[in-house]
Chains A and B, each alone.
Chain A
Amino acid sequence: MTSGIKVSRPGTSVNTDDLRDLILHSNYSMFKYHSDTSPTMTVNAGDTVKTISFAHGLSYIPAFISYMKTGTGIMMLPNRRSYYFVGADEHIFSYADATNIYITWRSSIPYNEQIIYASDVWNTYSNDNWYLEIGREGGSGYSGAIRFSGVNISSGDSLSYAKIQLVTNWKWGSEPSYFRWLNYGIDEDNTSSFNDPMGRPRTDATSTQTRTVPVNIGDTVEIDVLSMVNEIKSRGGWSSGNAMGFLMLEQDSNNDAAIVAGTDSYFKFIKSGSLTMNFRVIVFKDKIA
């Protein structure tokens, strides 16, 4: 007979074959508590990865369990924060080496970045809303416009950046030919769906943009529109969720140099702000490696 100690739950026999009835069995060990730490992580606007660490004080890799505190409880790591901000795929996980415990947050897009696809486009080639065109076919210049609905920016929001990404659906010419345009915001509180928007009021903020013809269909052309967005959201009648539009007036492009884009083009911006996450990590003296 093997000597040892067994402690069973109240109401169960120490001779049980069901290990669930036993609280202690000297044949088997238990995790030995080492430390309990409550680290904090702050993720800032624009971050895509953040790692914090703390020393566990052991000279080997220990077993540990980490949790993230939520508003209502805790969740074990690793885990996903399901779309905490629009469009993001966030993951939080932890690992250990012989010195530290690490907790890493990673996101598929920068923290607080939001993407809105175009609701309307316009071109002056055929004066319709089938596509947006900027540049010249032969020697004739054509302009475009683009509109985004449901722009959830409040007048008080501070933006780290605001950009339009035109997705090349078609093109005229090739590098090094370039197309050039004057970019404006549409200076309205909630610009309506397009039915020839080219005469709509323009923002004071403007910029001259020059781009070589994209190499491939699907390439994006990025346009910084922060100053125009700031001007529009500062209008007295602007409200979060309204529609925002932009005019792109062709000017001095090379002949046969143009881009054609559609409603797969998008608007992306990052609101300022940060996210603080609280964790709890229990480290055991049990050696993993």
Chain B
Amino acid sequence: MTIGIKVSLPGKDISSTNPQDFILHSQYGSAVIYKEAEVSVTIAAGGTTKSTVYYYDYEGVNQVTFPYIPIVYIMAELNAGSGKWYSSPFTFTQFLDIDALEETGILSAYAADTAIENNRFYITFYNRTGVSKTIKYHYYIFANLAVV
């Protein structure tokens, strides 16, 4: 018999063999949120801004380099104050003709623009308007889920 911990959903049997019936099951991985935060980015009129977030330890004192590349999930309000938050990955935004919906967009055509590394991630915004814009994005780092 394997020793472990299981917590089932209300109404579900703890003996279930369906992983979806569990809130926690030590046989399976889960998405632990290592860090989440909201970031404001100011982008000059017609310009681009690369926003970089470095990873820190739990106390927020020392920078951390993971021995792997974690998964990062981002939602961005591309039109300041609109209340519309787009979800990542932002693969569509490299095609300017198709995402011309909001005042700002995300450059994701090249890894130099928007990517995740083992000690940081960065995301590059562009501003299609003629005035400076300050937009927000919210990120989650799932540090126990590795891309590679």
Q: Is B17 an interface residue (CB 8 A)?
A: no
Q: Is B56 an interface residue (CB 8 A)?
A: no
Residues of A within 8 A of B73 (CB): 63, 65
Q: Is A96 an interface residue (CB 8 A)?
A: yes
Bound together, the chains give a CA A8 to CA B123 distance in angstroms of 32
Given known A-B contacts A22-B32, A289-B138, A96 and B143 have beta carbons under 8 A apart: no
Question: Separation in Å of the B147 CB from the closest CB of chain A?
Answer: 11
Given known A-B contacts A78-B89, A98-B83, A9 and B77 have beta carbons under 8 A apart: no
Given known A-B contacts A18-B67, A80-B91, A91-B98, A9 and B26 have beta carbons under 8 A apart: yes
Q: Is the CB of B91 within 8 A of A79?
A: yes
Q: Is the CB of A289 within 8 A of B77?
A: yes
Q: Is the CB of A22 within 8 A of B144?
A: yes
Report the interface size for chain B: residues with CB under 8 A from the other chain: 43
Report the interface size for chain A: residues with CB under 8 A from the other chain: 42
Q: Is B99 an interface residue (CB 8 A)?
A: yes
Chain B residue at minimum C-beta to C-beta distance from A2: B58
Question: Separation in Å of the B19 CB from the closest CB of chain A?
Answer: 12
Q: Is A77 an interface residue (CB 8 A)?
A: yes
Q: Is A28 an interface residue (CB 8 A)?
A: yes
Residues of A within 8 A of B97 (CB): 89, 108
Residues of B within 8 A of A29 (CB): 32-33
Interface mask (B29-73 → A, CB under 8 Å = 1, otherwise 0): 111111010100000000000000000001000000011100001
Residues of A within 8 A of B26 (CB): 7-10, 23
Question: Separation in Å of the B9 CB from the closest CB of chain A?
Answer: 9
Q: Is B90 an interface residue (CB 8 A)?
A: yes
Q: Is the CB of B83 within 8 A of A78?
A: no
Residues of B within 8 A of A91 (CB): 92, 95, 98-99
Bound together, the chains give a CA A28 to CA B48 distance in angstroms of 33
Interface mask (A86-127 → B, CB under 8 Å = 1, otherwise 0): 000101111111100010001010000000000000000000
Interface mask (A1-27 → B, CB under 8 Å = 1, otherwise 0): 000000111100000001111111101
B29 is contacted by which of A9, A18, A25, A92 (Cβ under 8 Å)?
A9
Main SS at interface, chain A: strand
Question: Separation in Å of the B40 CB from the closest CB of chain A?
Answer: 12
Q: Is the CB of A20 within 8 A of B144?
A: yes
Bound together, the chains give a CA A168 to CA B140 distance in angstroms of 53
Residues of B within 8 A of A65 (CB): 73, 87
Given known A-B contacts A23-B30, A30-B33, A289 and B86 have beta carbons under 8 A apart: no
Q: Is A165 an interface residue (CB 8 A)?
A: no
Chain B residue at minimum C-beta to C-beta distance from A98: B83
Residues of B within 8 A of A97 (CB): 83-85
Bound together, the chains give a CA A66 to CA B73 distance in angstroms of 12
Q: Is A223 an interface residue (CB 8 A)?
A: no
Bound together, the chains give a CA A100 to CA B144 distance in angstroms of 30
Q: Is the CB of B67 within 8 A of A63?
A: no
Question: Separation in Å of the A256 CB from the closest CB of chain B?
Answer: 39
Q: Is the CB of B4 within 8 A of A10?
A: yes
Given known A-B contacts A22-B144, A91-B95, A106-B98, A64 and B87 have beta carbons under 8 A apart: yes
Bound together, the chains give a CA A98 to CA B77 distance in angstroms of 12
Q: Is the CB of A66 within 8 A of B33?
A: no
Q: Is the CB of A108 within 8 A of B98?
A: yes
- Please name 15 pairs of A and B residues whose Cβ atoms are closer than 8 Å in the assembled complex, sorted by A: A10-B4, A10-B27, A20-B68, A20-B145, A23-B24, A23-B28, A30-B30, A30-B33, A63-B73, A78-B90, A93-B99, A96-B85, A106-B98, A289-B77, A289-B85
Q: Which residues of B contact A (CB under 8 A)?
A: 2, 4-5, 24-34, 36, 38, 58, 66-68, 73, 75, 77, 83-87, 89-92, 95, 97-99, 136, 138, 140, 143-146
Besides A78-B86, A289-B38, 6 more A-B contacts (Cβ < 8 Å) are A31-B140, A63-B75, A78-B92, A80-B92, A95-B85, A102-B84
Closest 8 CB pairs of A and B: A19-B144, A91-B92, A95-B86, A78-B92, A97-B83, A19-B143, A28-B32, A288-B138
